[in-house]
Amino acid sequence: MPFLNVEIKAQCPDGESIRHYLQSHNAEFKGTDEQTDTYFNVPSGRLKLREGNIENNLIFYERDNQHGPKNSHFHLVKVNDPKGLKEVLAKSTGIKVVVTKKREIYYIHNVKFHIDEVPGLGSFVEIEAGNLLADLPMEELQAQCDFYTKELGIASGDLIDVSYSDMLLAKAK
């Protein structure tokens, strides 16, 4: 069954203020994950294998690149053998790009927050209001994403339209 996120990504020049807001609003800190996202060549959507010390998942998602909050439909499968799966996918579909990052993970109810450091790209914050943990309609997820975007003082000019993978591919050209 696909799940739904309404999400934003923004440049984050001051991760400390985001961290302070989350801590002062009793966000649950899940930890800091050193993640490697390997994107594979697929005919539509995006397929990535996430390897980390907290999260190890195969994720297929479809999302339009657009300014502001984006709807993302995704399938997530927990992976017990990421190295083996990566080898099979690399041989069968080929690797498109690899993204490495240091990610702090927080939750307030069903809303997931990331404070990311991506080598070669910079510092970012992500907000993902999703229905993976709560059965909520898209309108409510949109309202949550909008609320936290405003609460965290994220300016429209700081919003990023594309994924880290797109940013790295563009930088490589």
Query: SS3 string of 9-78?
Result: EEECCCHHHHHHHHHHCCCEEEEEEEEEEEEECCCCCEEEEEECCCCCEEEEEEECCCCCCEEEEEEEEE
Nearest to 53 by CA among 74, 77, 82: 82
Total domain count for the chain? 1
CA distance 71 to 61: 10
pLDDT values of the chain reduced to their tens digit, one per residue, 173 residues? 578 899 999 999 889 999 999 999 999 999 999 999 999 999 999 999 999 999 999 999 998 887 788 888 899 999 999 999 999 999 999 999 999 999 999 999 999 999 999 999 999 999 999 988 888 999 999 999 999 999 999 999 999 999 999 999 999 98
CATH number of residue 107's parent domain: 2.40.320.10
What confidence score (pLDDT) does residue 1 get? 57
Tokens representing residue 99 in the block = 């993204």
The pLDDT value recorded for residue 27 is 98
pLDDT of amino acid 66: 78
pLDDT at 117: 97
* pLDDT the model gives residue 3: 87
So what's the pLDDT on residue 53?
94
Domain range for 91: 3-172
What predicted TM-score, i.e. pTM, was given to this entire model? 0.93
Per residue in 70-110, pLDDT (tens digit) is: 888 899 999 999 999 999 999 999 999 999 999 999 999 99
